[in-house]
Amino acid sequence: MAEKYESFDLSGTKIYVSEDHRFGTDAFLLADFADPAPHHKVCDLCTGCGIVPLIMCRNISKKPPKEIYGIEIMPEAVELFDKSVAENNLSDRIKPVLCDLKDPQGIPREYFDIVTVNPPYWKKGSGEERLSDVQAAARHEILCNIDDVMKTASSLLKFGGSLKLCQIPLRLADVICSMRSHGIEPKVMQNVVNRKGGKPWLVLISGKKGGKPGMELLPDFEVYSDSGYSDEMNRIYYGTKMKKG
């Protein structure tokens, strides 16, 4: 375990992080967008400290999915994930796995109803030298790229299963092209903006393995309102809308 780590309490779920392995708003947005049902089996790629699986298991609004694998290549991140799983008594539901997603040994193929992924956003050679090695690998395509993610996601999903991911708008064309080339048809997309009418800073996209062409564009997700977080953002963070007055 890393010498320096801390924990956050999310609606009664304790989540351990370190300086190199943290999480942001995009993890909450992805977990909510994935919207797994209680009978679903989920695999989260590039899971880091396990934030997406752990958010899915918060007991705030709905029952968690039946089974969640979390794949991560960084040993320290998996140690943090293991600690969170043990602390929250979730070992019967969440399975942290230390492996390279390009060769996911021990992970069942064509098994999952949903695959989620918050992948590296930036291409290699676009500023990673300013970061630590671990942070650079999390944010830049050093250890895996979009095609690697799509290939593995397709191999893990059942026919008819869904891939749910987030990505920056700059890479949207790369994502859609790669999804289709690996047999995953883009079906739903939603832009994330800070405020109504703002420029999107994140895209949430869902695709179905073996799906037919045709994609729905949802209304923009607004993070903020005039009084702070929007009702939807408060729901995602806290499980409820903020009371007025």
Q: What is the mean pLDDT of each run of 10 residues along the chain (245 residues)?
A: 77 91 94 96 97 88 91 96 96 97 94 96 63 66 88 98 97 97 98 97 98 97 95 86 37
> How high is the pLDDT of residue 23?
92
In the chain, where are the structural domains located? 6-237
For domain 6-237, is the CATH number 3.40.50.150?
A: yes
> How high is the pLDDT of residue 58?
86
C-alpha 217: how far from chain center: 20
167 vs 159: CA distance, rounded Å: 24
pLDDT tens digits along 113-156: 999 999 987 677 665 445 566 666 667 667 889 999 999 999 99
pTM as predicted: 0.92
Residue among 29, 39, 45 nearest 67 (CA): 39
> How high is the pLDDT of residue 245?
29
> How high is the pLDDT of residue 243?
38
Show the tokens assigned to 60: 């705030």
Phi, psi of 208 (to 5 degrees): -115, 130
Give percent helix, percent strand, percent coil of the chain, each to the nearest 5.
30, 30, 40
